Structure formats: C-alpha cells, structure tokens
C-alpha cells in the first residue's frame, strides 16, 4: 500500500505533518517558558507551525493555503494546546530554551527540504527554490520569537541555523537534477539538516559575529 511510488506521489503530506508538529511543539514550549495564558499558547504554537508554510504558499501563489485546505490542522493545534495547557506542568517537561531547540531542529530539516521540493515542482529556478525552502523553515520560528518578545534566534544566537537549512536544501536540488524520487531527495536532505543542526547544538558550533 505505502510503496515508494505512493510516497513519491504524496510526499508533501507526510513531510508537512512532521514539520508542522515539530514547529508546533517548539512554539508550545516557548510559550510555556514565557508563562503565557491559553490564548497566547495557541497563538504562538500556531504561528510557529503555520508561518513558514503560509509565506511559501503566498510567494508561490499556491491556493488555498495548506492549513486552509486541511482545516483539521486548526482543530489539531487547538486541541493540542488546550490539552497541554491543562495537563502538562513543569514536573512533566522542563521548559528550557534547549528543550525547544530539539523539535525546532526537526522542523528546520523537514520544512527546508520539503519547501525546496515544492518550489522546484512549481517551476522556480534552483537558487530561488532553495531560498523558498529556507524561508519555509525559518519564518515560523521568527514569528514565534517576535510573538514572545525576543530577537529571532535565527539572527542572533550565532549558531548555524539558516546556513544549515540553506546547505542541506541543495541535496534536494541535486536529487531533482538526477531525477531521484522526490521522497528520496527530500528524506536525505531533511535527515542531513537535522543531523547537522543537532551536532551544532551538542558541540556548540558558532558563526563569526559582526565586529566593529
């Protein structure tokens, strides 16, 4: 039933689900760290989950937006936030900045790779497709940080984040050139991005910062 041909034809949905869950969880943890009320938790979780994909769909003129077409996402996010607000407490999960970064790494890999593939199949040039993939992966986190009154970590923490997504997305382009099945190139790119991002977190690699 779930052959390689099926996954190639329907690769978008599984990757969208994984990436959206990853970013939603990162938004939820960040909202919990800031001790927001239930409305704030739902808003931050939603913008983290949907922000990047919404920007991608707008720029590529894809209608309806992915979460409008699949409105069950809205119910899923709402139920997820309410249940977490009611049942999850600090004794269950330590709401730290580092805890938020783990699901965020998954969202980065899946959305960067998947967004690049979607842009390529929409007929955009390769460099534009990679930028689209990066925007898909990064914009939700930027909105999450803005909503919680922070300078976006993608710009300020000096750890490779956007750079990792940019580099890994080229694997999708290479797969596109070589006519690989979409699910294969997107899976390889997502896996590479996630692994490198986790290595960044574990080993504390830094980018050079601006010096006047």
Helices (H), 92-151: 97-121, 126-147
pLDDT at residue 116, as a whole number: 94
CA distances to 21, 112, 174 from 132, rounded to whole Å, are: 20, 8, 16
Residue 119 lies in a domain: yes
Mention every residue, 6+ apart, whose C-beta is less than 8 A from residue 5.
none
Give the distance from CA 28 to its chain's centroid. Answer: 14
Residue 194 lies in a domain: yes
pTM over 0.85: no
Residue 7 lies in a domain: no
Residue 3 lies in a domain: no
Residue 211 lies in a domain: no
- Write out the residue range of the structural domain in which residue 27 sits: 12-203
Residue 24 lies in a domain: yes
CB hemisphere CA count around 155 (13 angstroms): 9
Residue 5 lies in a domain: no
- Whole-angstrom distance, CA of residue 62 vs CA of residue 202: 37
pLDDT one-digit tens code per residue, 171-204: 999 999 999 998 899 999 999 999 999 999 888 8
Residue that is written with structure tokens 């956007």 in the block: 162
Mention every residue, 6+ apart, whose C-beta is less than 8 A from residue 120.
126, 129, 172, 173, 176
Average pLDDT value for the chain: 83
Listed range (38-52, 128-142, 196-210) with the worst mean pLDDT: 196-210
Number of domains forming the structure of the chain: 1
Residue 1 lies in a domain: no
- Whole-angstrom distance, CA of residue 117 vs CA of residue 138: 16
For every residue of 5-42, DSSP letters joined together read HHHHHTTHHHHHHHHHHHHHHHHHHHHHHTT--HHHHH
């Amino acid at each position: 039933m779930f052959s390689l041909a099926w996954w190639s034809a329907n690769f978008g949905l599984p990757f969208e689900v994984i990436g959206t869950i990853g970013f939603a969880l990162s938004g939820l943890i960040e909202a919990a760290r800031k001790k927001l009320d239930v409305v704030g938790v739902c808003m931050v979780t939603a913008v983290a989950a949907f922000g990047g994909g919404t920007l991608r769909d707008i720029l590529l003129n894809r209608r309806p937006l992915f979460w409008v077409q699949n409105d069950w996402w809205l119910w899923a996010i709402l139920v997820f936030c309410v249940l977490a607000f009611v049942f999850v407490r600090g004794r269950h999960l330590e709401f730290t900045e580092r805890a938020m970064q783990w699901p965020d790494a998954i969202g980065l890999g899946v959305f960067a790779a998947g967004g690049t593939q979607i842009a390529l199949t929409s007929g955009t040039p390769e460099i534009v497709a990679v930028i689209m993939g990066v925007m898909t992966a990064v914009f939700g986190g930027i909105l999450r940080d803005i909503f919680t009154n922070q300078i976006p970590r993608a710009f300020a923490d000096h750890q490779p984040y956007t750079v990792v997504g940019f580099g890994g997305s080229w694997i999708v382009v290479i797969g596109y050139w070589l006519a690989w099945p979409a699910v294969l190139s997107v899976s390889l790119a997502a896996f590479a991005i996630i692994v490198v991002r986790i290595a960044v977190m574990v080993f504390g690699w830094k980018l050079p910062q601006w010096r006047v």
